[in-house]
Amino acid sequence: MDFYIKNMVCNRCIMVVQQVFERLGYPPVRIALGEVETAKPLPDETLTELKKNLTGFGFELIDDTKSRLIEKIKTVVIELIRYKKNENIKVNYSAYLESMLSHNYNYLSNLFSDVTGITIEKYIISQKIERVKELLVYDELTLSEIAFELGYSSAAYLSVQFKKVTGLTPGHFKQIKENKRIPLDKV
């Protein structure tokens, strides 16, 4: 049985959700960002307990198909930006989302905008900027290396977009980095 879970955005989230399922006696057959598959369906009382446990950790079980698709879009974007560095360089996001989700991009885009109130493009930019903030805080890469890793055409273009979104230059952000990052599930 497949379950879709909102706010499951990192490997630590996967670990927590896996532990919740295991404690209930239903270890996942497969688990990925936003998705859990069990070998058998959960009884209603266990499903109620699952929802309660997930909510306690800041997760939410998603029931309707449109919400599931929105979460899948978010998951695909987060995975691409954070975990698939080689695929992120010069990727066509609309084609990538179409191929990963087996839906027409116009449908995905309209649904995403209607439900979330922002475009997929703005969501992608906000995720990329959060990743830039993280990399700036780590202080291991130059701005040019960060721009390359995230598929920007240049460090200058990254700087312009960063300032447009945050109101700060990357250099200024680096100087005042405390309390400026946003958790991924809040982006």
Same domain, 69 and 45: no
Same domain, 148 and 165: yes
Answer whether residue 30 shows pLDDT above 60. Answer: yes
For residue 76, give the 3-state DSSP assignment. helix
- Rounded Cα distance between 109 and 120, Å, is 6
Higher pLDDT, 85 or 55: 55
| CATH code, domain carrying 8 | 3.30.70
pLDDT, tens digit, 9 for 90 and up, residues 90-120: 788 999 999 999 999 999 999 999 989 999 9
The answer to whether residues 77 and 118 touch, using CB atoms and an 8 Å cutoff, is: no
- Rounded Cα distance between 95 and 87, Å, is 13
Same domain, 178 and 157: yes
∠ Cα 38 3 31 (to 5°): 60
Same domain, 53 and 97: no
When divided into structural domains, the chain yields a total of: 2
User: Which two structure tokens, joined as six digits, stand for 101?
Assistant: 């989700």
User: Which two structure tokens, joined as six digits, stand for 146?
Assistant: 């960060």
Domain that holds residue 31: 2-62
Answer whether residue 88 shows pLDDT above 60. Answer: no
Same domain, 99 and 180: yes
- Which residues pair with residue 107 across a beta bridge? none
Q: What is the DSSP string of 98-127?
A: HHHHTS-HHHHHHHHHHHHSS-HHHHHHHH
Same domain, 121 and 163: yes
Q: Which of 11, 33, 62 is the last residue of a domain?
A: 62
Other Cβ atoms less than 10 A from the Cβ of 183: the count is 11
Same domain, 32 and 82: no
Residue with tokens 């990925």: 32
The answer to whether residues 132 and 81 touch, using CB atoms and an 8 Å cutoff, is: no
Same domain, 43 and 98: no
Same domain, 98 and 143: yes
Same domain, 69 and 112: yes
Same domain, 43 and 58: yes
For residue 165, give the 3-state DSSP assignment. helix
| CATH code, domain carrying 143 | 1.10.10.60
Higher pLDDT, 62 or 50: 50
